[in-house]
């Protein structure tokens, strides 16, 4: 059992020189994912050049023990520091020793197709014929959602969840520049740290926050059109999806991370770069704000302008993302003054 009396520490960024430096660190974050963790760890690449790190957010179902049993190095987030997956990724990045970091969530399983791609990345570090484009900061593949019913059976399978097929490129050509990535992503560790690491204080949008900061520094995330992970998530009906998008809190989650992300970037003085790489909710806002003056010019004009915005979003993403970005606007309004930056406390868990 994990000792509750052990001291937590506020860890500082370690230097890049380690007595043993694997080429790849796999950082898994999770909370109460004990049922899936054995499958996840069995799916991972192993060997002396790969390390596994699991960062737990106060699980109560034996997740810590499952990760220790699998052979991972385990860190436990202090109760007062549990915030979001970004908190765990922040900690995992500090503790990782690898040149590359593969970030995964505890409800995922890595696909064999991406393990083969990882071997190419490993070879591309030194092989001139397989050399990775020099501006590459990371890679993302396809997340395949396997939505589960209440009995844990797969009810629906959805491919191309994070990025559409037309946003991805062939793996043999190292993909194409991506406009976004989700929680499953492969990054150069150096690029993450130089961009300031994951923001541990954001409830949502921690991925686009990091992505935009990496892009400002000239780093490119490349999307490769091959399966990366199977994501085992609860099946959500339309009503539940709308609640997650528009309510301030649902299923124990605070849903105003977009506002925190905006506040963080305003505080850092680089808000415009955030808009540059995540323009959609602000374009939607512009269309809504323009309704009164456009109506005075020609009454049908606001309708056509906003319809054009919906069509544009549908062409770039999918049409229903318009509703997602409407929800983002509500989150920005709710969360703009609820951003509280902090350095998470955590400790290493030793195997008994």
3-class secondary structure per residue, 331-349? HHHHHCCCCCCCCCCEEEE
- The sign of the CA dihedral 190, 120, 91, 278 is positive
Cα–Cα distances in angstroms (integers) from residue 75 to residues 82, 233, 236, in the given order: 12, 24, 31
92 shares its domain with 57: yes
Cα–Cα distance measured from residue 51 to residue 176, given in angstroms and rounded to the nearest whole number: 28
Is 16 inside a domain boundary?
A: no
Greatest Cα pair distance, the chain, in angstroms, is 73
pLDDT higher than threshold 90 for residue 185 = yes
Is 12 inside a domain boundary?
A: no
Is 255 inside a domain boundary?
A: yes
Q: Are 139 and 222 in contact (CB under 8 A)?
A: yes
214 shares its domain with 324: no
pLDDT higher than threshold 70 for residue 160 = yes
pLDDT tens column, 62-101: 999 999 999 999 999 999 999 899 999 999 999 999 999 9
pLDDT tens column, 230-250: 999 999 988 998 898 898 888
Which pLDDT score, from 0 to 100, does residue 17 have? 47
pLDDT band at 20 (very low <50, low <70, confident <90, very high): low
Cα–Cα distance measured from residue 231 to residue 303, given in angstroms and rounded to the nearest whole number: 38
205 shares its domain with 282: no
Which pLDDT score, from 0 to 100, does residue 319 have? 84
Average pLDDT over residues 134-154: 95
Cα–Cα distance measured from residue 322 to residue 316, given in angstroms and rounded to the nearest whole number: 11
Which pLDDT score, from 0 to 100, does residue 283 have? 97
Cα–Cα distance measured from residue 101 to residue 253, given in angstroms and rounded to the nearest whole number: 27
Which pLDDT score, from 0 to 100, does residue 309 have? 97
What domain range is 312 assigned to? 241-335
Cα–Cα distance measured from residue 5 to residue 184, given in angstroms and rounded to the nearest whole number: 33
- Cα atoms in the 13 Å half-sphere on the side-chain side of 257: 21
Which pLDDT score, from 0 to 100, does residue 9 have? 44
> What is the number of structural domains in the chain?
2
172 shares its domain with 105: yes
Q: What are the start-end ranges of the H helices in the chain?
A: 37-43, 63-70, 85-95, 112-124, 189-194, 206-216, 238-246, 257-268, 271-277, 280-289, 291-297, 301-316, 321-335
92 shares its domain with 189: yes
Average pLDDT over residues 6-14: 41
Using CA atoms in the order 230, 236, 237, 240, what is the torsion angle rounded to 10 degrees? Answer: -150
Query: DSSP label at 9?
Result: B
Enter the tokens of residue 110. Answer: 């890595």
Report the relative pairing of strands 50-56 and 73-77 from DSSP bridges. parallel
Enter the tokens of residue 329. Answer: 């606007």
Is 13 inside a domain boundary?
A: no
pLDDT band at 121 (very low <50, low <70, confident <90, very high): very high
Cα–Cα distance measured from residue 180 to residue 23, given in angstroms and rounded to the nearest whole number: 25
51 shares its domain with 110: yes
Which pLDDT score, from 0 to 100, does residue 128 have? 56
pLDDT band at 11 (very low <50, low <70, confident <90, very high): very low
98 shares its domain with 199: yes
Concatenate the DSSP letters of all residues of 174-191 into one string.
Answer: T-EE-S---S-EEEEHHH
Give residue for tokens 């929800």.
327
pLDDT higher than threshold 70 for residue 5 = no
Average pLDDT, the chain: 91
249 shares its domain with 226: no
Which pLDDT score, from 0 to 100, does residue 233 have? 92
Cα–Cα distances in angstroms (integers) from residue 191 to residues 19, 56, 210, 268, 306, in the given order: 21, 24, 10, 18, 38
Cα–Cα distance measured from residue 293 to residue 272, given in angstroms and rounded to the nearest whole number: 25
Residue among 322, 326, 324 at smallest CA distance from 307: 322
pLDDT tens column, 290-313: 999 999 999 999 999 999 999 999
Cα–Cα distance measured from residue 206 to residue 62, given in angstroms and rounded to the nearest whole number: 27
Which pLDDT score, from 0 to 100, does residue 351 have? 84
Residue 336: other Cβ atoms inside 10 A: 16
Average pLDDT over residues 121-141: 85
pLDDT higher than threshold 60 for residue 150 = yes
pLDDT higher than threshold 90 for residue 208 = yes
177 shares its domain with 279: no
Which pLDDT score, from 0 to 100, does residue 136 have? 96
253 shares its domain with 215: no
Q: 170 Cβ partners below 8 Å, 6+ apart?
A: 224, 225
Angle between helices 280-289 and 321-335 in degrees, nearest 10: 80
CATH number reported for the structural domain that contains residue 138 in this entry: 3.90.550.10
Secondary structure of residue 105 in the 3-state scheme: strand
pLDDT higher than threshold 90 for residue 254 = no
Cα–Cα distance measured from residue 308 to residue 52, given in angstroms and rounded to the nearest whole number: 47
């Amino acid at each position: 059992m994990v000792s509750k009396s052990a001291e937590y520490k506020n860890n500082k960024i370690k230097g890049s020189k380690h007595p043993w430096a694997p080429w790849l660190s796999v950082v898994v974050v999770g909370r109460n994912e004990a049922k899936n963790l054995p499958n996840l760890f069995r799916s991972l690449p192993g060997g002396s050049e790969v390390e596994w790190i699991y960062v737990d957010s106060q699980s109560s179902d034996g997740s810590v023990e499952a990760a220790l049993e699998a052979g991972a190095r385990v860190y436990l987030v202090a109760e007062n520091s549990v915030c979001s997956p970004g908190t765990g990724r922040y900690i995992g990045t500090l503790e990782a020793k690898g040149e590359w970091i593969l970030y995964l969530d505890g409800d995922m399983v890595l696909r064999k197709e991406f393990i083969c791609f990882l071997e190419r990345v490993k070879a591309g570090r030194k092989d001139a014929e397989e050399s990775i484009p020099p501006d590459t900061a990371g890679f993302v593949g396809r997340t395949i959602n396997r939505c589960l019913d209440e009995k844990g059976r797969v009810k629906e399978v959805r491919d191309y969840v994070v990025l559409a097929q037309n946003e991805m490129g062939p793996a043999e050509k190292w993909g194409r520049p991506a406009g976004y990535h989700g929680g499953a992503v492969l990054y150069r560790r150096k690029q993450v740290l130089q961009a300031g690491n994951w923001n541990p204080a954001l409830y949502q949008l921690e991925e686009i926050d990091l992505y935009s900061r990496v892009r400002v520094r000239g780093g490119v995330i490349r999307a490769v059109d091959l399966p990366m992970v199977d994501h085992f998530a609860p099946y959500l009906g339309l009503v539940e999806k709308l609640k997650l998008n528009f309510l301030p809190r649902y299923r124990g989650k605070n849903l105003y991370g977009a506002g925190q992300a905006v506040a963080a970037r305003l505080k850092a003085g680089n808000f415009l770069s955030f808009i540059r790489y995540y323009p959609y909710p602000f374009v939607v806002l512009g269309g809504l704000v323009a309704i009164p003056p456009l109506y005075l010019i020609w009454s049908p004009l606001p309708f056509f302008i906003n319809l054009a915005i919906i069509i544009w979003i549908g062409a770039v993403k999918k049409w229903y993302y318009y509703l997602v970005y409407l929800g983002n606007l509500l989150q920005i309004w709710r969360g703009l003054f609820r951003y509280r930056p902090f350095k998470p406390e955590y400790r290493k868990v030793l195997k008994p």
